[in-house]
């Protein structure tokens, strides 16, 4: 997926500030943060959106990575996870990613 920005980041072809990585996922700091702490959790394999994720183990792993990076960032007890599924829901990069947001108050409902 040479044209996919997140695939290029995962491959090391595009620089990013890495917060965490393992064999299944990479977590990077967002370049346009929407909160004082804003990290993206990205699967190493290309999955376009959540609706396309068939690997339940990978889905669980992404959630665990999100929990881990929130804790490592000092936000173990207070963070928000956001997944935008498709362009109509606000997904701007066609590679599944979880937003881990913390460091400020969040309103409900969002958006």
Active site residues: 97
For residue 38, what are the β-bridge partners? 101
Q: Which residues of 48-80 are buried (b: 16+ CB within 10 A; e: fewer)?
A: bbbeebeeeebbebbeebbebbbeebebeeebb
Question: Would you list the DSSP string of 30-54?
Answer: -SS-SSSEEEEEEESS---SGGG--
């Amino acid at each position: 997926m040479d044209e996919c920005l997140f695939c290029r980041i995962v491959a090391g072809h595009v620089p990013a500030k890495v917060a965490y990585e393992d064999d299944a996922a990479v977590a990077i700091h967002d370049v346009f943060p929407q909160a004082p702490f804003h990290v993206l959790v990205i699967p190493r394999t290309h999955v376009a959106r959540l609706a396309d994720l068939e690997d339940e183990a990978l889905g669980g792993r992404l959630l665990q990575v999100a929990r881990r990076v929130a804790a490592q960032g000092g936000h173990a007890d207070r963070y928000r996870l956001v997944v935008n599924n498709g362009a109509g829901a606000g997904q701007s990069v066609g590679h599944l990613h979880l937003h881990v947001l913390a460091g400020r108050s969040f309103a409900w409902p969002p958006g």
